[in-house]
Structure 1
Amino acid sequence: MADLTQNPGRSWKSAVEALKTPWALIVAILIAVAVLDPGNWAEVVTFAGKALAHTGQYILFAVLLLSYLKATGAELMVARAFEGREVRMIFLAALFGGLAPFCSCEVIPFIAGLLALGAPLSAVMAFWLSSPLIDPPTLLITAGALGWPFAIGKAVVAVALGLFGGFVVKALMKQGAFAQPLKAYKPAGCCGSATKKGDKPHWRFWQEPERRARFWLEFVQNGVFLLKWLALAYVLEALLVSYVPADLIARVVGGEGVAPIVTAALVGMPAYLNSYVAPPLLAGLMEQGMSPGAAMAFMVAGAVSSIPAMAAVWSLVRPRVFAMYLVLGISGAIVAGILFQMV
């Protein structure tokens, strides 16, 4: 009680922050449904619970995989993708961008260090465009919500977008563009120590106490993170299916042709949902008339324009490079949606 009296501002701030959590939003949504539409409350809870239980197996495997990659230091393999000839670097950077087990804050010092050491912007751009789109947990969660064809398609799009961006930047750099892409930046990691060039992954991490501790820490943190966001996602999907008219979705982003895909990409950029929340919501939208191509464009544009991804780009590079990142992202999302719709 003394703390509340002495620091009322801090206590209010803590209370507001607590209300912003996914758990608080879930409780608030369910209370609102119980009050405003009590007859539909059980259906909303049942829908969300069944969907979360179905995805639970993917969550468990994803968390185990990600914890293993972090405990072994597998990000060292990603660093090696930026060694060699430029064309080879672009290909490897686009490929490893979808496999990198980095959190959004780890990417910043990692990329800053590569640029400072002279890694070409073309390869860095390839990594940056592909990395937000897919990673092992996102792949599994997308498969659980939208099916393996969509998940595999998204993985292919991630690599293709990375290659597209890398080679476009490479061509522009030949014309003299982006001569000094990096801002004045002193990398400082927030999620661990920087990668050393001579280090190697320790695949048998359980033999070292520190790595075992890292594994369990990552397992708990990522498990809670995925569980809370997916629980919120499925509650929102239940609301979407129950209360949003299907014909409205069909009119905005449904049907055939390029227009719904372009609309979905443009809507997806400002309406970003993280990669763990987006698949369940898109599953609900597709059930109500959203085309697969529009769903792909929405997901790609939203991932590229995520706050962590854009913050990482803006904090490191000059405005022209940042603008190019967004142009490549939105154009790549539209092309990906059109091609996915055709397939």
Structure 2
Amino acid sequence: MTDQSLPRPGPVAVAWAHIWRKERVWLVFALIIALLAVLDPGQLAPSFNKVTGALLSVAPFLAASILIAAWAGATGADNLIAKAFTGAPAMMIAMGALAGGLSPFCSCGVIPLIAAFLAMGVPLAPVMAFWLASPLMDPSMFALTTGVLGLEFAIAKTLIALGMGVLGGTVVHLVVRAGGLADPLRDGVGNGGCGGAKARNPKPPVWAFWHDSARLTKFRTEGTRTFLFLLKWMALAFLLESLMLAYVPAEMVTQSLGGAGFMPIAIATLVGVPAYFNGYAALPLIGGLMDQGMLGGAGMAFLIAGGVTSLPAAIAVWALVKLRVFALYIAISLGGAFLSGLAFQTWLML
């Protein structure tokens, strides 16, 4: 059968595929609202009030995160990441974790950036440190975590992100020294992508970006893009939180993820992998669960495990590296998330 004999999608199908790819979050939001209107119209007003009230409550932190992301893109401050991977192994691992925890890279840039580092010959240990820390925390995430879950939680998650990076980088360094994990990339994996270009051709930042019309335009563009991105995910998250509070019995949450012992933290660690879908959207969901009795340590374990090993991220990692590297990445992520949850819960009990 030739390509000419295959049926081609019509203009409606092509248009729908484009809309779904670009606006699937808003489409899911609208679908939930439509189902509520049909199945339980009495819940529409409470859910609407929850979404609008919650968005207003985090508006200052939302604005801070948008300005940070726009500033980093306009000045080129994110190019400084390329300088983090030089020096002794211990220093490279520490700088990799620090860069990952503080870098405001977009989700599309992390995987190509890692591929670029590995293709350039950067040791796997500092790359793994950056890899583990990067999805867990950045300045925007810190601001929103503070607004939703409190400053103590945000500081603890930042320290855990750095600790996860250092732990993962150290483990990988020891394995490499023992003769393992050679040639981590899969055959045929290149180093393209928006992050890769920054790593290959680092340029000094321009702090006074407002004197450059192109950078000023980028500031506006990046700010608008970040605003729309955060708005849609936070709106969907707060809508889901309102439904969770309405339909999920608090007793169920308390029984499965509350109480004493390590079992709730272990459950949250495992559940975080398939249930976690976006770092910003997960915050209000965890806040709602904690209001219903979820342990703080379990909430932390969920955010750490989900942030590093969510299904989209895991699929991307699987496509990038060989099986032994992927297996070690999963083991470090889940083990570190569980230990982080235990440590944070112990801190809360002091």
TM range (shorter): over 0.9
Paired residue for 2:156, among 132, 141, 153? 153
Cα distance between partner residues in 1 of 2:116 and 2:74:
22
Counting only pairs closer than 5 Å after superposition, residues 174-323 of structure 1 correspond to structure 2 as: 174-184=177-187, 185-190=189-194, 193-196=197-200, 199-323=203-327
Counting only pairs closer than 5 Å after superposition, residues 111-190 of structure 1 correspond to structure 2 as: 111-184=114-187, 185-190=189-194
TM-score, normalised to structure 2, is 0.91
SS of the equivalent of 1:276 reads helix
Q: Determine the structure 2 residue equivalent to 1:84.
A: 87
Cα distance between partner residues in 2 of 1:198 and 1:25:
39
Q: CA deviation at 1:180?
A: 1.8
Cα distance between partner residues in 1 of 2:152 and 2:272:
21
**Could you list the runs of 5+ residues in structure 1 that have no partner in the other structure?**
none
Equivalent residues, number: 338
The structure-2 alpha-carbon separation of the partners of 1:115 and 1:144, relative to structure 1 and needing over 3 Å to count, comes to: same
| RMSD between superposed Cα atoms in Å | 2.0
User: Could you tell me whether the CA contact under 8 Å between 1:104 and 1:308 is conserved in 2?
Assistant: no
Matched to 1:221, the amino acid is R
TM-score, normalised to structure 1, is 0.93
User: Could you tell me whether the CA contact under 8 Å between 1:139 and 1:151 is conserved in 2?
Assistant: yes
Matched to 2:149, the amino acid is L
Matched to 2:338, the amino acid is I
Matched to 2:283, the amino acid is P
The structure-2 alpha-carbon separation of the partners of 1:198 and 1:247, relative to structure 1 and needing over 3 Å to count, comes to: closer
1:177-226 C-alpha deviation (Å, 9 max, x unpaired): 11221233221224784345562111111111221121111111110000
User: Could you tell me whether the CA contact under 8 Å between 2:115 and 2:191 is conserved in 1?
Assistant: yes
Cα distance between partner residues in 2 of 1:27 and 1:311:
28
- % identity of equivalent residues: 43
Q: Determine the structure 2 residue equivalent to 1:45.
A: 48
Cα distance between partner residues in 1 of 2:159 and 2:287:
19
Cα distance between partner residues in 1 of 2:165 and 2:195:
25
The structure-2 alpha-carbon separation of the partners of 1:321 and 1:330, relative to structure 1 and needing over 3 Å to count, comes to: same
Q: CA deviation at 1:314?
A: 2.7
Q: CA deviation at 1:258?
A: 0.5
Q: Determine the structure 2 residue equivalent to 1:72.
A: 75
SS of the equivalent of 2:274 reads coil
User: Could you tell me whether the CA contact under 8 Å between 1:108 and 1:187 is conserved in 2?
Assistant: no
Matched to 1:212, the amino acid is L
The structure-2 alpha-carbon separation of the partners of 1:175 and 1:249, relative to structure 1 and needing over 3 Å to count, comes to: same
User: Higher mean Cα deviation, 80-89 or 195-204?
Assistant: 195-204
Cα distance between partner residues in 2 of 1:16 and 1:111:
28
User: Could you tell me whether the CA contact under 8 Å between 1:301 and 1:330 is conserved in 2?
Assistant: yes
Q: Determine the structure 2 residue equivalent to 1:57.
A: 60
1:40-75 C-alpha deviation (Å, 9 max, x unpaired): 322221122111110111111100111101111112
Cα distance between partner residues in 2 of 1:235 and 1:174:
49
Cα distance between partner residues in 1 of 2:63 and 2:220:
13
Q: CA deviation at 1:14?
A: 4.6
